Amino acid sequence: MSVRLDVLCIRASDPHRLARFWAELLGWEPDLADATRLRATDDTGFGMRFEATDSPRVGLNQTHLHLTSAVPGDQERTVQRVLDLGGRHLDVGQLPEEGHVVLADPDGNELCVIEHGNRWLAGCGFLGELACDGTPEVGRFWSQTLDWPLVWDQDGETAVRSPHGGPRSRGAVRRSTSGTGPTGCSSSWSSTPTCRTRSTGWSSSVPACWTGSRHGW
């Protein structure tokens, strides 16, 4: 029997502040019993939870989110929204000619805003993809575990997506520069988020939970 992905957990220096940032950015609702947990108001299919940590950030994260742009101008509006909410621009080695914009949330977690017209993320909502470092074997494992179809498996990358819709999850071996995969963005995050699956109570590091990699769907 497959398990169900319930929540993406992210360690934060200030869980309430980070929860407010992501709630405002994604348009999600805080849980009435726990303001550090967010409930999706779209077809994402899982929530987010922010847990306190005193551990310092080291390097880039293994996982980051890709936000989509439905119409021309959306990318610029989303970037400005992130900045207004306390985020900032981030240089992770992306090239000037690449279409995505790399940003960081108030805790320094990377996120990418994908340009309008990216076919890889066509049909996905605003939260289009969870990109992760990992191997193709990780993607195949989670495809079977979550019973999510494997929608991409080539060039060292795998991607899965819930049969009910929502974001895609893509994984690949980390590279030193931006990738040339379906979305064009390289993956990395450093506060080691975790994914929890309901029915088992089990949790693991995100790379073992998602099969994502570089940019866009």
For residue range 169-213, what is the model confidence (pLDDT) as tens digits? 776 544 333 343 455 564 332 233 333 333 333 333 332 233 333
Q: In Å, what is the CA distance from 30 to each residue of 45, 48, 185, 196?
A: 15, 9, 29, 18
Asked if residues 103 and 79 have their Cβ atoms less than 8 Å apart, the reply is yes
Q: Retrieve residue 1's tokens.
A: 């029997």
**Segment 4-56, tens digit of pLDDT:** 889 999 999 999 999 999 999 999 999 999 999 999 999 898 999 999 999 98
Could you tell me the pLDDT band of residue 140, with boundaries at 50, 70 and 90?
A: very high
Whole-number pLDDT of residue 23: 98
Residues 6+ apart with CB under 8 A from 61: 109, 110, 188, 189, 190, 191, 192, 193
> What 3-state DSSP class applies to 119?
helix
Among candidates 65, 179, 44, 59, which has minimal Cα distance to 114? 65
Instruction: Lowest mean pLDDT of 31-45, 124-138, 139-153, 195-209, name the range.
Output: 195-209
**Residue 61, SS3?**
coil
Q: Which domains does the chain have, with CATH numbers?
A: 57-208 (3.10.180.10)
When pLDDT is averaged across residues 75-104 and rounded to a whole number, the result is 96
Looking at the predicted structure, is the pLDDT value of residue 117 above 90? yes
